[in-house]
Each structure stands twice: as C-alpha cells, then as structure tokens.
Chains A and B, each alone.
Chain A
Amino acid sequence: MNLLDIVLAIPLVGFFAVLFVPRAAERAIRIVALLFSLAAFLASLGLAFGYETIRPGEQFVTDLIWVISPNIHYHVSLDGLSLWLVILSTFLTPICVLISWTYIQKRSKEFFAFLLLLEVGLTGVFAARDLFLFYVFWEVSLVPMYFLIGIWGHDRRIYAAVKFFLYTFAASVLMLTAIIFIYNRAQTFDYSSILAMLGSGSLHFSYYEQMWLFLAFFVAFAVKVPIFPLHTWLPDAHVEAPTAGSVMLASVMLKMGTYGLARFCLPMFPGAARACAPWIVVLAIIGIIYGALVAMVQPNMKKLVAYSSVSHLGFVVLGIFSFTQIGMDGAVYQMLNHGISTGALFVLVGYLYERRHSLAIADYGGVAKAAPWLSTAFMITMLASIGLPLLNNFVGEFLVLQGSAQANFHWTIFAAIGVILSACYMLWLYQRVFYGETPDEVRRHVFDLRPREWAAIVPLIAMMIWMGVYSESFLPAVRRTDAHILDQTTVNVPVRVRAPALPTTLASTRAQVVIHAH
C-alpha cells in the first residue's frame, strides 16, 4: 500500500462516506465531499514530490493478483505521462465540489457521491498498468458521468447522456475485443510485460493483426478525444452537463483518449501507428480548423467552449502522431494545459449561468462593468486559451507546432491557422459578453465573485501562470517518459515504414537513435 493506492482509495472511501450521510444534511454532504477531495489532492501532491524525475519507468508500483485465471492483476503505478494527469484529476475535483456548492439544488447526495466515484474512475484510468484493470476503470468512469449529465443537466440532458454513454460504450467494446485478443496471445494483461514481450520478439503480431488491434484501440480513444468525425457527442454532452460535469468531462475525461493513444496505441502497435499517422494527423488538423470555425459561429457560450476543445485536442493528437520528442512533450503538456484553461472557462461560464440563468451570448453584454473581477478572471483564462506567451497554452502549442514542423512542415502551417482562429472566436466572445451596453437583466443579476468562487478560480489561474512561466517544473518528468515511449515505437516494427520525416530509417531491430531534441 503506497501513496498512489491511498490517492485512489480516498475518493472511494469518500463515495461511501457521502452515501452514509443522511439525505437532509445537505451542508454536511458538501463538506464531506470537499474534505475527501481535498485529502485526495493533498495526498497526490505527495506523489509529485516523491516522484523521481530521473527514472523514466514505473514508480509507486503496486502489483497484486486480482483474479488468478485469467491472470488479472491490480497493477497501478505512475510515470511521467500519468503523474500529472492523476494530479490534474485530484486538483480539479475539489474545485468541482466548490463550484457545485450552490449550483446543485436537488439530490445533492447523489451528485457528490457520483463526483467522487468519477474521481476514482479517472485517477484509476491513468494509474492502471494492467489492460483489464484499465478497461474496468475506463468503463466505470462512464457511469457516474452518465448520471451527472442525465440528472443535473440542462434541457436536453437525457439525449446528451444517452448519446454520450452509447458512443463511448460501443467504441470501447472493440477495445475489449482487442484486449482479449492480446491476452490470448500473451497470457497476460500486464502492460509492461506485454511491451517487454513485444520488444524481445516472444510476442509478435502480424502486420494485419497489428493494424486491426491498433484500429480497435484507436476508435475507442478517438471517440473519447474526440477526433474529428467522431466528435458529435461532445458538444451535446458539454452543453447539457452541469458545470462540474463539463469541467470534469473537458478537463480530464477527454484526456483519457489522448492518454490512451500515447500509452497504448504508440508503443504496442508501432508499425500500424506509424502507417496510420498521416491519416490521423489529417483528421487532427481538420479537427483543429473545423472546431475553431464552428466555435466561431456558436450563439451558446458552452457550445463555443466545447468546440474549442475539439480544436485544442486536435493539437494534442497532432503532437502525439508527429513521432517526435518535442511534439510528444508538447502534446502531454497540452493535455494538462487544456485541462486547466478549458476547465477554468467552464467554471467561469458556469458562474455567469448561475447569475443570469442563460448560456446565450446574446443575453449578455457589459459584464465587465457589473462584475470586474469576474471579467478579469475570464480575461486571463481566455488569453491562456488563445495561447498568449507567459500563459500555459502557449508552451504546449509551441512545442506541438515545433514537433510537427520537424515531422512535416505543411502540417504546421495548417495547424497554426487554428491558433489564429482561436484568437478570433475567443476575443469576439469576450467582446460580446463583457463589453458594450449592459442590459438591465445583467445589471440586476450579475454580481462579482463571492469568496467561495474566488477559492475555486484562483488556483486555476495560478496554475495557468505557473505552467506558462516555468514549464520546467513539469516537463522533465514528461520528457523522460516520452523518450521511453518513442523508443518503444522503434522496437520490432514488423514492416519497414517510412516515418514521417524522421532523420533515421527505422529498422526492424531496436533503433540506436533516440531523438533528444533538447
């Protein structure tokens, strides 16, 4: 039982604790939820301090036998890829509790219980190192989110909740098929053992097998990210979800997809991943531009932020499939950035909604006069989302673009259009909502931040600045793990593939060149 297990266990205990608080004691329910989520966050800070950046491999390992036959383990650990994502989940959960404090009026017991259960699922997904366990957490995180959207969402919540569940569930059964297929070959679900077996050649998939397995995993992740043609569930789910649901969905749940791509698709099926990379990058770039264009014409603030997520996540996919160290680092960093800045955007939009009870941009105007601090917070968040230097998104987008330029310069040109477009839709949104005439409704209802709201938004803004100014606090751990993953993608590639503009031709043995771009 190490610190990681404790981080995973705290929200689970919190879930049961909330269930045992009497329904009428609403305040007690909120306090219990807040305490447990804060405890999980503090414990996860210990992970950050205890993590040894020098070592690229697994840390905080717990490996217990769960089922003897089939050979399923409870195997959790952290590396540079999962460390920050786990902390991101635990960081955002207390914030979600805070922003739901008054927002959630009915059935708050279930709400906070589901929120904590969601945290268990999300942290578990990032920590699991056993394919079966990963799938379990993957699916388990689906259920609380389904209820969060369906019970506490807006008007079309039922449609959105069902669509969200079915999309993800249908896509992930294909992944389950692939996982079982791998197990029947390898006789293990253990991620590291499978990679080791692939590396040594004792486990080998033919090119077609690899292709099908890759696609099965890819579709499951692509729905979650979401990658362009599979994104249609996302605007519905984001718009209809309650604020906390939108935050968790955008900030953490989408990262399950990109995390999966980096964690499983690349190292386990390197040949197929490289062969498909150009196509996937094209989809990612379409997503970047399409998402931005659609965001621009949205009359609904949440929908705008939702489509901007499609656009931003395109950068992450582009970075991952550039197969360069820098691109990969940028992608992972961008996952965290998007989690912070889009999370903050949803929080602030939620604040506006709580006051004016509308998400339509047209209902607002001149909020800057009515609520200056709220506007300032929105300004900083918006600038971060655009990618202004010294704020977090800039670092991630820059690295991704640099990486993609190393791979193929044309990709960069198209992707960079997305950056420009993001400035357009965000600034325009800000102008319409915060400047201009102040309608009566706004003047009457929109007041400035309350202390509890301050407490929720300040940590997010602080993180935007920290991650923008001093990325070296976070990047070294990421970099080592990324190098390790990229190294894996050159192992035993069953066919000779031309990697997009990598300086080396990849041979069918371990390549000697590990690209260190820095």
Chain B
Amino acid sequence: MPISLIPSSAEYLRFLPEIILVVSGMLLMVLDVVLRKQAREIYGHLSLVALVAALAGAVYAYSSPGPAFSGMIVADGFATFFRVLVIGVGILTVLSSYRYLNREGAEPAEYHALLLLSIAGQCVMVSSSELIMIFIGLEISSISSYVLAGYLRDDKRANEAALKYFLLGSFATAFFLYGVAVIYGLTGSTYLAAIRVSLRGGNMAPAPMFAGVAMALMFVGLGFKVSAAPFQIWAPDVYQGAPAPVSAFLTTGPKAAAFAIFLRIFMTAFQPLVADWYWWLWGAALLSMTIGNFAALTQSNVKRLLGYSSVAHAGYVLVALTAQSHVGTAAAMFYLAAYAFMNIGAFAVVAHLSGKGERFLAVDDFAGLAVKQPATAALLTIFLLSLIGVPLTGGFFGKFYIFRAALGSHLIWLTVLGLLNSAVAAYYYLRILVVMYFRDPSEATAQIEPLPAGLRAALVIPALGTLFLGIFPNWVLGFADKSSMLAK
C-alpha cells in the first residue's frame, strides 16, 4: 500500500459525497440555532438539496475510481452503486417526512441533520475497504439511527424501539468490533485485501479455528445489522415503534449498507474460508425467510407486518449471498435497490394513512382506500405486488435473479424452499389488498387527507422505480453485474 501522508485532490474527490453530507449535516444543526423556529420547511428543502448534491457527488466521484486515504476508502463501482442507493433512500425519506414531522409536531432540524449523518455513515461503510473504516461508518450510521428511531420523544412505542435498538445494536457492534480485533491479531492487518492474502497463505495461514471465531463474531454483528434470523428479534419491535418514515429508512438504507459490507467482507477477506461459513449463510437465509414470512402471516399491525416482511426479504438477499458468485452479488445489489423502492413506497402510504399519532395502523384500517383515494391505492398495489413478486415489478425480477444465481450454484433446495416461501408471503400482502379494494371505507380512510406534494413524490418516484426495474432491468442490472467483481 503506497503511503503518502498528504492526500491528493483525486482522493478528496473520491470522498466527495461523504464530505457534502457531513458538512451539510453540521450546517443544519447550526442553522437551527440561527433560525430558531421560523420556516420549518427550510430544513427539509436544505437536506434535499444536500442529498441531491451528494448524489451528484457520488456519481462524479466514480469518474475517477480508485482508492483514497491510504486505501481505506475505495470509490469503485460497488461503492458507487450503494452510495447512490442509500442517498436515494435518503431523498425519498426526506420527501415522505415533510408532512409527517408537521403532523406530529416534531423538530425538523435535528431530524434532517441526523438523517444526513446517518447516510454519511452508510456512504463510508459501503465505500471502505478496511475494517476500522467500516466500523467507523457503521457507528456513525447506527448512532444516528438509534436517535431517529426514538425521535418522537413522547411516544412510548418509539422510546421502546429506540432503547431496544440501541441496546441490542451496540451489543452487535461490539461483537463486530471484537471480530475485527481477533482478525487483526491473527493477520496483522485490517485491510480486507491483506486479510484475504493472509488467510489463504498456506502453511503461514492462521489456525482455521481462530479465523473461524473471528468470522463468527463478525457474522453475528452483521447478521444483526441486516436483521437476519436468528438475530432478528429486535427488528419487528423497532420497525413498529419508530416513526413510519424512519422505519422506511431503517429497513432500506442502513440495511442495504450493512449488506454491502457483508458482501465486501465475506466475498473478499473471508473468501478463502468459504467452506466454513457457507452453511451459516445457508441456514440464516432459510431461517430468515421462514421466520419472517410465517410470523408476518398473523400480524394485524401493518408496520409490524412490514417489519417481519423485511426479515423475510433479508433472507432472500442472503440466498443471493449464499450463491457465492458474481451473479449472486449482482442479484443481491439489484434486489436491495428494488426492495428500497417498494418498501419506502409501502411505508410512505402507511405514514400517510396512519393519521396524527399514528392511530390507524391495523390492516383493517386500509379498508376502502381504493374508493377514497384510488390513486394512492393503485400505488400501494404496485408496491405490494412487487413485494409478492409478481412479474413486471422490480421485486419479481430481483427475486428471479436471486434464485437464478442460487440455482446456478446448485442450491436447489434453498431455491425451492425460498420460492415456496414467497408463495406463503403472498397471503399476507394480499390481505392488505383485500381490505383496500374489497371492503367498505373504515374510520381511517374516511378521515384521510389529500396527498401532500412531498408524499406524492415519495410515492410516485418509488412506483416508477419499481416498474422501471421490473420492465427495463437492463440498465441497473448491467451496472450491478459490472461492479459485482469486487476488488480482491
């Protein structure tokens, strides 16, 4: 690794999105003091501008791909894909938060600042190729997320969610850090590439048992972050308790970033020991799909239902990881993008319908939505069909691509069980469709207000994205394919 203590301008360029996000996050905090209580909307607008700038920065950074800061950061295709993804998630979250924050009377400034910082952390995570850097990104992202989950201070459920998320989350981070420490002790390096070289070093390689311990520790930490079974217990509670736009964010942004580092660490550093952790992944994938789907079957709270469904979807992505191939990596990337669209869309509808204080969260509260607001119902239909995996939606194509990768790696049983799982899942998504279209309006849909502009954008953009990924998957798939070749 060439060491130069003064980073070149190209290196700063490769770190551009993170710089933009952190600076504007800080700026928002300062502005809050300066502006006091005037103009609530301005924070949303500013954070939107910051995110769009960061998005442009991420794309621009890819114009000179390569490592930065002694190789701790790498702006490759993989990083760019995920940076664009998490920043995009941020944009949609901001759009769906305008009305929500007003309605709940929450302070907008810190909310947006925390959101920007969390996204900055995720950008660091996905673009780092060194364990300490990954850990720092993980912490930035997580700590902001804990606060966001409990942002509605007076809400009991939000408090419970935040506390649970914080306690279990820090525990998991500790596991991860412990794993990093062990692997550093074994290999003398925190660079993923160096670890890989060391682990495949023949006679000089560290004892497999110790390497296994390190891997297991990191697997637990990451498994928690992606809410994979058997580390999923917290997920439904947190996603149910957190404010709806935050739940949308947590199930997509931090999760996608966690999967990105999962991929990077296990596909590069631990790749030599694939035989050891292959079955862990296999089991976690199957467990996540099964537990998530079967638990969701009996839920009557929509947020909780989507929470369990998010566990199940983590399972599908783990199937792609189990496939151990470039196709699998590309499939995971594509699926996370599709999932981000459809899940944010679904949560945005929940945020819209639930009313002040999120009173209306039962599945039955969706009754008659199709009569009261046909357009909202149609958009939610697109998201639900995509979550089920009906063709011409991103969810279907993603699932298809994942199971194609799985079958390509001879994971026949995992494929069959996974696809049957998706048939089970159809039932609980259909329940929402049923009440929405086949029942008469409820108290919740009777009081529903017209869609505000921000929320409308937060619904239409994901819907178009879902359809776009389902009908014209070429473009995103091509990029995912190209950038799934991780630097070894």
Contacts and interface: CB of A to CB of B under 8 A. Distances in A.
Interface of A: 67-70, 107, 110, 132, 135-136, 139-140, 142-143, 146-147, 150-151, 157-158, 161-162, 165-166, 169-170, 173-174, 176-177, 180-181, 183-184
Contact of B423 (A69, A151, A173, A180): A173
Interface stretch (B72-80, B145-153, B221-229, B396-404): B396-404
B437 A177 contact: no
Pairs A-B, 3 closest by C-beta atoms: A170-B423, A136-B391, A173-B419
Interface string B288-309: 0000000000000000000000
Interface stretch (B109-117, B122-130, B211-219, B473-481): B473-481
A180 B438 contact: no
A162 B427 contact: yes
Contact of A184 (B391, B392, B407): B407
Most buried by B among A147, A157, A165, A173: A173
B438 A150 contact: yes
Interface of B: 370-371, 374, 385, 388, 390-392, 396, 400-401, 403-404, 407-408, 412, 415-416, 419-420, 422-423, 426-427, 430, 433-434, 437-438, 473-474, 477-478, 481
Nearest to A69: B481
B430 A166 contact: yes
13 contacts: A67-B473, A110-B370, A146-B430, A150-B434, A161-B434, A165-B430, A166-B423, A169-B426, A176-B400, A177-B407, A177-B415, A177-B416, A180-B407
A67 B477 contact: yes
A30 B415 CA distance: 44
A147 B391 contact: no
B437 A150 contact: yes
B427 A68 contact: no
Contact of B390 (A67, A70, A140, A183): A140
Given A173-B420, A173-B423, A184-B404, 16 more contacts: A139-B390, A139-B396, A140-B390, A140-B391, A142-B390, A150-B434, A157-B438, A161-B438, A162-B427, A165-B426, A165-B430, A166-B427, A174-B420, A180-B407, A181-B407, A184-B407
A275 to B, nearest CB: 21
A142 B391 CA distance: 10
B419 A68 contact: no
Nearest to A172: B423
Contacts of A166: 423, 426-427, 430
A169 B474 contact: no
Contacts of A157: 438
Nearest to B406: A180
B403 A177 contact: yes
A176 B423 contact: no
A143 B429 CA distance: 13
A180 B437 contact: no
Contacts of B478: 68-69
A158 B370 CA distance: 15
Contacts of A135: 391
A129 B481 CA distance: 26
A67 B423 CA distance: 25
A170 B427 CA distance: 10
Nearest to B420: A173
Given A151-B438, A166-B430, A169-B426, A176 B419 contact: yes
A176 B422 CA distance: 12
A396 to B, nearest CB: 32
Nearest to A139: B391
A150 B407 CA distance: 36
A220 B404 CA distance: 19
Contacts of A183: 404
A107 B408 CA distance: 46
A143 B390 contact: yes
B407 A143 contact: no
B420 A170 contact: yes
B437 A174 contact: no
A164 B20 CA distance: 52
B412 to A, nearest CB: 8
Contact of A177 (B408, B419, B434, B438): B419
Given A140-B392, A142-B390, A173-B419, A69 B434 contact: no
A421 to B, nearest CB: 35
Most buried by A among B385, B415, B416, B438: B438
Contacts of A150: 434, 437-438
Nearest to B421: A173
Nearest to B397: A67
Contacts of A132: 400
A176 B430 contact: no
Contacts of B473: 67
Contacts of A158: 434, 438
B483 to A, nearest CB: 14
A142 B396 CA distance: 14
Nearest to A135: B391
B423 A169 contact: yes
A180 B422 contact: no
Given A69-B477, A136-B392, A174-B416, A180 B426 contact: no
B407 to A, nearest CB: 5
Contacts of B404: 70, 180, 183-184
Nearest to A159: B434
B386 to A, nearest CB: 12
B403 A176 contact: yes
Contact of A151 (B388, B427, B437): B437
A161 B438 CA distance: 10
A180 B415 contact: yes
Given A143-B390, A184-B407, A67 B438 contact: no
Given A174-B416, A176-B400, A68 B474 contact: yes
Contacts of B400: 132, 176, 180
A478 to B, nearest CB: 29
Contacts of B396: 139
Contacts of A139: 390-391, 396
A388 to B, nearest CB: 41
